Amino acid sequence: MLYFIGLGLGDERDVSVRGLEVIKRCERVYLEAYTSVLMGSADPSRLEEFYGRKVIVADREMVESESDAILAGAQEVDVAFLVVGDPYGATTHSDLALRAAELNIPTKTIHNASIMNAVGACGLQLYNFGQTISLVFFTDSWRPDSFYPKVQENAQIGLHTLCLLDIKVKEPTLESLARGKKVYEPPRYMTVNQAVEQLLEVEENRQEKAYTADTIAVGVARLGSDTQLMRAGTLAQLRDVDFGAPLHSLVLVGSRLHLLEADALRQIAVDREALDVVLARDYGITH
């Protein structure tokens, strides 16, 4: 059996009891380590100590190009593929599941919390979220805005937009690729501040008002950990808030804002009086 096991959002202890039982009996255990990381547990040795199994770090290259190594022998032994959050949350691993099906390898999924559902902790109702987008790091020559139409569609019907922020783990440098010998960049994690800067740059270029500097948003950091931090304010305000260590996410608040949601945002406001002004002016909500 090939098991897809969600690890949750915090550290190695957030795995479910069922998931832990399966991991402990698996012949091989792989940790998917390029779409997200466990906060406080970046070192696989901590997972190995807790799980009682050797953990093989599966980077993007292994998962996308060397999946045969993961699937090898899974018809006869149990193999675990560990994913931070939920296996089918922010990033699906359907390609690996389909490959397993082609080889007649049975699969089973053990779910866990992911940013996709835990973001409701900020007080915004999950039913009021629209399409989720991903923001990638801009470069000098690549400043993509393909996410913009999705934000625009969400905004047109008043729905919130969850923005998943880029992480770069074991990314080869362009120079090393040109030379044919890979040298990897240090890990990088996009902050709320960087995300806001990029969003506002795209809006400035497009001038279509899917959002503005006065749009209310929620910055979320280290969700599910003991040090989680959530702050609500305009994009202009969040640009200057120190959210601390990764991982970060951002929510653009839609106009279909319920009164209870507004009350929840007041509790985590950067500036409560300023937030009330924007809520009354742009969202028609008064305290």
Q: Is 114 annotated as a binding residue?
A: yes
Annotated ligand binding at 56? The verdict is no
- The whole-angstrom separation of Cα 154 and Cα 48 is 42
Question: Is 235 labeled as ligand-binding?
Answer: no
CA distance 60 to 32: 8
Q: Do the annotations mark residue 174 as ligand-binding?
A: no
Is residue 41 part of an annotated ligand binding site? Answer: no
Distances (CA, A) of 8 to 25, 110, 136, 251, 279: 20, 11, 23, 20, 33
165 annotated as belonging to a binding site for a ligand: yes
Q: Is 9 annotated as a binding residue?
A: yes
How many whole angstroms separate alpha carbon 236 and alpha carbon 256? 21
User: What does the buried/exposed string (b/e) look like for 164-201 if buried means 16 or more CB atoms within 10 Å of the residue's CB?
Assistant: bbebebebeeeeeeeeeeeeeeeeebbbbbbbbebbbe
Q: One-letter amino acid identity for 182?
A: K
Is position 103 annotated in a ligand binding site?
Answer: no
Nearest to 108 by CA among 237, 2, 16, 183: 2
Q: What is the DSSP string of 219-251?
A: EEESTTSTT-EEEEEEHHHHTT----SSPEEEE
Residue ranges for the known binding site are 9, 86, 89, 114-115, 165, 223, 248
- Binding-site residues for S-adenosyl-L-methionine: 9, 86, 89, 114-115, 165, 223, 248
